[in-house]
Amino acid sequence: MGAIVDKLFISDEAVEVIRNKYHDCLVRNITPTNQLTQVYRVVITDENIAEDTYHDFLVNNMIATYSVSFTTRLVKDDKFRDRMKIRILTSLNELERKRME
């Protein structure tokens, strides 16, 4: 069985976004008491889960940079980093094109 375990520094609203996509995921608030920033551990167990699909979901919902798994992969995986650069540039070009219309 495949699984993704991630730690995210996100809001309660972002937790709901994740739960709406991955209904059977386990989400646990691991924030020490009296902290302003909320830290969550998310565990997604699914035979068919792919890390790329999960990271794309985080990017699409603008929460990728709050993910330890995503940011670690950006640093350690050259192919992934290059793919994300291309994706960002493509998105920026698309936004610019729409702005110019």
Instruction: Answer for the pair 8, 14: CB distance below 8 angstroms, yes or no.
Output: yes
Residue 58 within a domain: yes
Residue 61 lies in a domain: yes
* Residue 21 belongs to some domain of the structure: yes
Q: Quick one: pLDDT band at residue 1, thresholds 50, 70, 90?
A: low
Distances (CA, A) of 47 to 19, 27, 80: 17, 18, 22
Segment 14-72, tens digit of pLDDT? 999 999 999 999 999 999 877 778 999 999 998 788 999 999 999 989 999 999 999 99
**How many independent structural domains does the chain possess?**
1
**CB within 8 Å of 39: residues ≥ 6 apart:** 7, 8, 9, 29, 30, 31
Strand partners, 41: 7, 28
Asked if the structure places residue 66 within a domain, the reply is yes
In this prediction, residue 53 carries a pLDDT of: 92
Domain span including residue 42 = 3-75
What number is the average pLDDT over the span 68-78?
97
The more confidently predicted of residues 67 and 93 is: 67
